[in-house]
């Protein structure tokens, strides 16, 4: 079972945040752009935390930058004009492969991409 779907994560998503939102904003700002897996987990932890990422007119630029820093790009045929395009890519990559234990997949592959980018 993916850590994103653990019972403790699901319970937190439904309740109130245990700390003020300002502290979570400070935590978010300390996560490097290239740590895509942590950003996605933080995003999915609670709807209030998701609002930290989705708020503002340049929300997708954040996800685009995080994907690029992780070595994830697009193909020319992709619809990059969708306002949630890069966020959806980030979430899909982490949900599908972000926690794979294979040595050439998951976080190991994201780390390799970061170093190669």
Express each pLDDT in 52-76 by its tens digit. 999 877 888 999 999 999 888 876 6
What Å distances lie between residue 2 and 9, 99, 100, CA to CA? 10, 7, 9
Query: Is 9's pLDDT higher than 50?
Result: no
CA–CA distance, 88 with 102 (Å, rounded to integer): 23
The number of domains in the chain is 1
Q: What percent of the chain has pLDDT over 90?
A: 36
Mean pLDDT of the chain: 81
Instruction: Please give the residue that has the higher pLDDT: either 13 or 88.
Output: 88
* Predicted local distance difference test score (pLDDT) of residue 97: 85
The DSSP call for residue 3 is: G
Does residue 50 contact residue 43 with C-beta atoms inside 8 Å? Answer: yes
pTM of the model: 0.76
- Span 75-93, average pLDDT: 79
The boundaries of the domain holding residue 40 are: 3-116
């Amino acid at each position: 079972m993916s850590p994103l779907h653990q019972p403790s994560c699901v319970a937190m998503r439904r309740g109130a945040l245990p700390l003020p939102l300002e502290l979570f904003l400070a935590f978010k700002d300390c996560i490097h752009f290239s740590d895509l897996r942590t950003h996605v987990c933080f995003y999915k932890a609670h709807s209030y935390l998701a609002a930290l990422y989705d708020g503002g007119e340049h929300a997708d630029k954040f996800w685009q930058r995080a994907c690029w820093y992780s070595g994830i790009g697009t193909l020319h045929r992709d619809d990059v004009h969708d306002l949630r395009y890069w966020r959806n890519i980030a979430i899909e990559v982490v949900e599908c492969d972000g926690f794979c234990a294979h040595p050439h997949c998951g976080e190991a592959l994201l780390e390799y991409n970061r170093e190669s980018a």
